[in-house]
């Protein structure tokens, strides 16, 4: 269902998922006088702390979903693995943004890579894998060092295995667990970047300056803005995000993860939501990615993505957030803590944005 008219202040935005992204969305919505109702299963849900209302229930609970739908004016999500049935149930009752088709494409790496290829967007050579025989064939097809990735439910490097020349496909397949997968060639990239962009119900489009992203153990460690890339690569990256969002009739913020290679820009992955590599926008831009997402889905004019400071965003993982007192005293540094009850190694507990304001 499409949004009939812009939602006035006081309207209620439904968010599926109760993590830090939902929390930062709710904080941004409040600035505009909009209210958020968070829906999430039992667990550590730091978004509940800052929301107007919340429902703690499983995603496959029709009465709870029905009551949620009755209480909100539009629905969005903060993670892409929302069950398709949940999205369909809500999408029949009220506007869902981004839409169910977007979820269907981005929940499956094979569908996603095929979609991008058909649009003429560069991706690493890839092939579907369903058993040890198709794995052997796929490794021949992509040729060279490769990565095996599960088609569904992978994030932060989970469900991934690097395969070297000479590895035995049968042993790799057993070791990997045998879920439907894809094989991709390892890309010799110069940099990893992403585009954080928004599209409105009316087709308006706005993209932020491109961050350069560094990962450690497959988890984002740092985003530096602006990325040290050529203006041509930056333009190409923005154009790719525009092509994708137009084709999908997308509404909301999208995060498109990309590799910069000698042959140009390739897409690694699409995140149909606000993205970790856009957290710097909270302090370095007039309108953050969170506010921009709320504006887009609520039918408001998109905000100006103007950036008034260079910035380095660093994630606080696990125990690093215990150093909050020192971090809070650093000059030109904004500290963000997610209020999670439990710290685990590698868990995203917060982030800091260190600013270097641009001279007028
Ligand atoms: P993903 O889960 O697909 O986002 O991958 C997580 C990280 O693994 C990426 O940000 C890259 O650092 C690395 N990676 C994934 N796919 C490839 C690839 N085909 N070639 C090189 N590095 C990759």
| Closest-lying ligand 1 atom to the alpha carbon of residue 156 | 2
Secondary structure (H, E, C), 129-159: ECCHHHHHHHHHHHCCCEEEEECCCCCCCCC
Pocket lining: 291 vs ligand 1, CB cutoff 6 Å: no
pLDDT in tens, 119-156: 999 999 999 999 999 999 999 889 889 999 999 986 66
What band does 165 get if pLDDT is binned at 50, 70 and 90? confident
* Per-residue pLDDT, 222: 98
The pLDDT tens digits of the residues spanning 283-324 come to: 999 999 999 999 999 999 999 999 999 999 999 999 999 999
Three-state DSSP class for 117?
helix
Specify the ligand 1 atom closest to the Cα of 146. 19
Residue 350: its H or E element: strand 348-357
What one-character-per-residue DSSP string does 196-235 give? EEEE-TT--EEEPPPPEEEEETTEEEEEEES-S--HHHHH
Q: Which atom of ligand 1 is nearest to the CA of 124?
A: 19
What separation in Å is there between the alpha carbon of 77 and the centre of ligand 1?
24
HSE-up of 167 (CA within 13 Å, CB side)?
24
- Between the CA of 100 and the centroid of ligand 1 the distance, in Å, is 25
- 8 Å CB contact between 195 and 240: yes
Q: What is the pLDDT of residues 58-106, one digit of tens each?
A: 999 999 999 999 999 999 999 999 999 999 999 999 999 999 999 999 9
Answer yes or no: is the C-beta of 212 below 6 A from any ligand 1 atom: no
Q: Show the 3-state SS of 18-79.
A: CCHHHHHHHHHHHHCCCEEEEEECCCCCHHHHHCCEEEECCCCCHHHHHHHHHHCCEEEECC
What pTM, to 2 d.p., does this model score?
0.96
Place of tokens 């400071």: 309
Q: Please tell me what DSSP assigns to residue 286.
A: S
- Name the percent of the chain lying above pLDDT 90: 89
* Rounded distance from Cα 145 to ligand 1 centre (Å): 13
d(Cα 131, Cα 3) in Å, to the nearest integer? 44
User: Atom 9 of ligand 1 has which residue's CA nearest to it?
Assistant: 218
74-77 sheet: strands from edge to edge: 53-56, 35-40, 12-16, 74-77
Q: How far apart are CA 137 and CA 139, in angstroms?
A: 5
Query: Which residue puts its alpha carbon closest to atom 2 of ligand 1?
Result: 157
Alpha carbon of 192 to ligand 1 centroid (Å): 9
Given ligand 1 and candidates 127, 157, 215, which is best to mutate, with the most ligand atoms within 8 Å of its CB?
A: 157
| Structure tokens belonging to residue 245 | 């969002």
Check pLDDT > 70 for residue 8: yes
Contacts of 249 (CB under 8 A, 6+ apart): 99
């Amino acid at each position: 269902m499409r949004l009939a008219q812009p939602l006035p202040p006081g309207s209620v935005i439904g968010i599926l998922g109760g993590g830090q992204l939902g929390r930062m969305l709710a904080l941004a919505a409040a600035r505009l006088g909009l209210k958020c109702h968070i829906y999430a299963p039992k667990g550590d849900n730091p978004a509940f702390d800052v929301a107007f209302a919340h429902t703690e229930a499983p995603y496959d609970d029709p009465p709870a979903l029905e009551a949620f739908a009755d209480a909100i004016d539009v629905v969005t999500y903060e993670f892409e693995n929302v069950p398709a049935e949940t999205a369909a149930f809500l999408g029949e009752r009220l506007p869902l943004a981004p839409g169910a088709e977007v979820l269907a494409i981005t929940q499956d790496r094979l569908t996603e890579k095929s979609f991008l290829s058909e649009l003429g967007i560069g991706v690493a050579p890839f092939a579907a894998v369903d058993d040890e025989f198709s794995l052997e064939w796929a490794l021949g097809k992509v040729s060279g060092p490769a990565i095996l990735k599960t088609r569904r439910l992978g994030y932060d490097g989970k469900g991934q295995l690097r395969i070297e020349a000479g590895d035995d496909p049968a042993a790799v397949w057993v070791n990997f667990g045998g879920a439907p997968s894809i094989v991709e060639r390892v890309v010799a990239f110069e940099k990893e970047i992403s585009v954080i962009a928004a599209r409105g119900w009316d087709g308006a489009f706005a993209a932020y300056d491109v961050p350069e992203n560094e990962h450690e153990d497959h988890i984002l460690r740092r985003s530096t803005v602006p990325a040290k890339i050529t203006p041509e690569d930056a333009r190409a990256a923005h154009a790719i995000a525009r092509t994708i969002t137009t084709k999908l009739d997308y509404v909301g913020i999208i995060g498109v993860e990309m590799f910069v290679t000698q042959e140009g820009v390739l897409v690694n992955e699409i995140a149909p939501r606000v993205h970790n590599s856009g957290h710097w926008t909270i302090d370095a831009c007039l309108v953050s990615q969170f506010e921009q997402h709320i504006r887009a889905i609520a039918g408001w004019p998109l905000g100006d993505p103007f950036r008034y400071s260079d910035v380095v965003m660093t994630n606080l993982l696990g125990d690093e957030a215990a150093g909050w007192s020192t971090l809070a005293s650093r000059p030109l540094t904004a500290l963000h803590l997610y209020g999670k009850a439990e710290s685990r190694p590698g868990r995203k507990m917060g982030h800091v944005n260190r600013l270097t304001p641009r001279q007028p």
